[in-house]
A and B are shown apart, each in its own frame.
Chain A
Amino acid sequence: MNLLDIEHLRVDLRSRERRGAPRTVIHDVSLTIAPGEAVGVVGESGSGKSMTVKAVMRLLPRRATVGGTLEFRGTSIPAMPGRDLARFRSQLVSMIYQDPRAHINPLRTIGDFLIEGVVASGQMNRAEALEAACTLLRDVGVNDPQRRLSQYPHQLSGGLLQRMMIVMALLPSPELVLADEPTTALDVTVQSEVMAILTEQIRERSVGLLFITHDLDLAAAVTDSLAVMHAGTVVERGPSADIYAAPRHPYTAALLASRPSPTSVARPVSIPGRPVSAFEAGEGCAFASRCPYAIGQCRTERPEPRTAGTRTVACHRSDELEAVLAEGVRA
């Protein structure tokens, strides 16, 4: 059974004003995570990546309405009663946030932050939790864990603080970790180090991972499969290596072409046009206005995701463009 099943997820936000029209922030997101699998979600800013994980954690704002199915090990997450939701959040799934400085209470010690969850859920008592935290801290390369436990967040560097977040996430031994751009807020010099620690710990424990990033290279390197999001929709999904080698959706191809290359000093070609949010997308394909291969049908009819082999692609022309797009990557 899959760890996480998301099918045709749709999220609308009611407007704050009484008469305002609701805004669609997630249009159609489907993805699955098998036990121990690492899945990457990539896409430009505003494409709905964070909203998707918030929906999984049931942390959406109160004015959100959720459609489609969200299941953890076959149990519907939106239908979970309070007790199950508390267990789900505290023991089965953990979340690592982008900005540890904002996401950790500045007034409480690191020790409190780390063990608060497992102690409140009754998984461990204080002493056990502190001991487990120390062990984990050593695993992620923190010397002198005892001293760290009594420190406050402002006394730690960003990189160190994000390691604390990783330890917090792993302490309850969850089955799934959701990491929303875990290194974006960090100093460039520590990004790869923190990323290495995260992936190493995840692999060692065979925990499922949902990894959100803008960085397609990084995603392809650390995940088993990928979901590419554009304007609230997963436009392409499949094994990471396949997508990386031969994208089937023009948007994926454009993302691959636009990333800065480490070996060349040439400026990357950015995707023409501005990122579109889900609520701005009209009737047709949301990418049509920016797509070099768009035809009339693309502007009038929204492409449904179609599965062929291991890949699912939402593009009217994905079959005919297969060769062209693959060629673009090699060039």
Chain B
Amino acid sequence: MTFIAKKLAAGAATVLASSLIIFLALSRAPGDPVALILGPHATNAERAAMSARLGLTDPVLVRYWHWLTDALHGDFGNSLLYRQPVSGLLGPRLMTTLILVGLSALIAVATGVALGIFGGVTPRARPLVSAVTGVGTALPGFVVSSALISIFAVNLAWFPTFGAGHGFFDQLWHLTLPAIALAMSSAAYVAQMTAAAVNDEAGREHVATATGRGLPRSVVLRRHVLRNAAIPVLTVSGLTAASLVAGSVVVESAFGIDGLGSLLVKSVASKDYPVVNAASLVIVIVFVAVMTVLDISQTALDPRLRERA
């Protein structure tokens, strides 16, 4: 229990530190928010007034403190480009991206682990599995996206070609193809790592002990091979899920999905720093959340880690 509390505290500390680093980095970034708001024809007096109103004249740490206290109340300031609260922009897009990444992680881990176990326990199927996973890893995401769109969205018309939909189930339907495109190479990677882990664990001496005691093959497999392989597989799955957050940017633009990734890209291009700041932080939070869950479940699976905790 105290262990979980410790992990959560560590996660919160990471997020806090990241928020400071992001804030400092963006305060040094090129681009002038005052010019962005007032346009090129403003007078110097108008600029000075706006600067003061935005609090830009304060030292950076003071500005960070103001930003942080507001952020803790859910107020991330206003977008310079859209002229509306950042939280309002972020909320629905975060939801879209979370569904996309969650669905994609589910597909990647489920198919990857299933394929990996199959390849790991049936030596004869191993060449087939490594061929399939080899192709899966090698295909770039945008190629997969285009192929999926042309087959399932255009020719068969089973799925929409564009957009993220409205309402949870409509969103799921809209995001299925993008999630598959996003999951493809991760699934292949998870499959390869799972097959390797299962193969490694099956060769351990304690597995020979279990077999030598006359335990049925299925029991040996379940309790001594798969149980032990679960730890590396979990690690790979967690890291993969976290990397999908970054990968979602490409897929969102290929499928014209208005998610967190595309918002971030757009805001960086237009130097809309309040949005960049908040969106980066949200991505950090999602990442840290995944890693914390991973850490806690690893400890639950491995008694040797529990000791040290």
Contacts and interface: CB of A to CB of B under 8 A. Distances in A.
B211 A102 contact: no
Interface stretch (A33-41, A83-91, A231-239, A270-278): A83-91
Interface in A87-126: 87-91, 94-95, 97, 99, 102-108, 116-117, 120-121
A103 B205 contact: yes
> Interface size for chain A: under 10, 10 to 19, 20 to 34, or 35 or more residues?
20 to 34
B227 A95 contact: no
A55 B304 CA distance: 34
Contacts of B213: 89-90, 94-95, 116-117, 120, 168
A99 B205 CA distance: 9
B215 A120 contact: yes
A154 interface: yes
Q: Is the interface of B mostly helix, strand, loop or mixed?
A: helix
Contacts of B219: 120
B215 A105 contact: no
A97 B211 CA distance: 13
Contacts of A91: 214
A152 interface: yes
Nearest to B304: A154
A90 B206 contact: no
Contact of A107 (B208, B210, B216, B303): B303
A59 interface: yes
A299 B212 CA distance: 40
A210 to B, nearest CB: 14
Interface string A302-325: 000000000000000000000000
A106 B215 contact: no
B205 A85 contact: no
A106 B304 contact: yes
A281 interface: no
A286 B215 CA distance: 39
The 10 A-B residue pairs whose C-beta atoms are closest, nearest first, are: A90-B214, A89-B214, A117-B213, A102-B205, A152-B303, A86-B214, A105-B206, A103-B209, A103-B205, A57-B212
Interface of A: 57, 59, 85-91, 94-95, 97, 99, 102-108, 116-117, 120-121, 152, 154-155, 168
25 contacts: A57-B212, A86-B216, A87-B214, A90-B214, A94-B213, A95-B209, A97-B205, A99-B205, A102-B204, A102-B205, A103-B205, A103-B206, A104-B206, A105-B210, A105-B223, A107-B227, A107-B303, A116-B213, A117-B213, A120-B213, A120-B215, A120-B219, A121-B214, A154-B307, A168-B213
Interface of B: 204-206, 208-216, 219, 223-224, 227-228, 231, 301-304, 307
